[in-house]
Structure 1
Amino acid sequence: MSKNRNTGRHQAVELSFLEKVAKRLPEDVEILQALADLYTKTGKFQDGLAIDEKLSHQLPNDDLVWYNLGCSYSLTSQADQAFEALTRAVELGYSDYDWMKTDPDLNNLHADPRFESLLSWLYTACNEEE
Structure 2
Amino acid sequence: MSKERTKGRAEHDAVELAFLQKVSERLPEDIEILQALADLYTKNGKFQEGLAIDEKLSHQLPNDDLVWYNLGCSYSLTHRADDAFEALTKAVELGYCDYDWMKTDPDLNNLHADPRFESLLSWLYTACEEDE
Tell me if both proteins adopt one fold, taking TM over 0.5 as the criterion. yes
Q: Please state which band the TM-score falls in when normalised by the shorter chain.
A: over 0.9
CA–CA distance in structure 1, aligned partners of residues 40 and 123 of structure 2: 30
Q: Which residues of structure 1 form unaligned runs of 5+?
A: none
Residue in structure 1 matched with residue 95 of structure 2 by the alignment? 93
RMSD: 0.7
1:110 aligns with 2:112: yes
CA–CA distance in structure 2, aligned partners of residues 65 and 127 of structure 1: 22
Equivalences for residues 68-79 of structure 1 within 5 A: 68-79=70-81
Residue in structure 1 matched with residue 83 of structure 2 by the alignment? 81
Residue 129 of structure 1 deviates from its aligned partner by 1.5
- 1:34 aligned to which of 32, 36, 39: 36
Letter aligned with residue 122 of structure 1: L
Letter aligned with residue 109 of structure 2: N
Runs of 4+ in structure 1 displaced over 3 angstroms? none
CA–CA distance in structure 2, aligned partners of residues 51 and 128 of structure 1: 33
- Structure 1, residues 6-54: CA drift from partner, whole Å, max 9, x if none? 0000000000000000000000000000000000000000000000000
> Taking structure 1 as the reference length, what is the TM-score of the superposition?
0.99
Residue 81 of structure 1 deviates from its aligned partner by 0.2
CA–CA distance in structure 1, aligned partners of residues 113 and 11 of structure 2: 35
- 2:45 aligned to which of 43, 46, 51: 43
Residue in structure 2 matched with residue 14 of structure 1 by the alignment? 16
Q: How many residues align?
A: 130
Percent identity between matched residues is 82
Residue 73 of structure 1 deviates from its aligned partner by 0.1
> Taking structure 2 as the reference length, what is the TM-score of the superposition?
0.97
- Paired residue secondary structure (1:52): helix
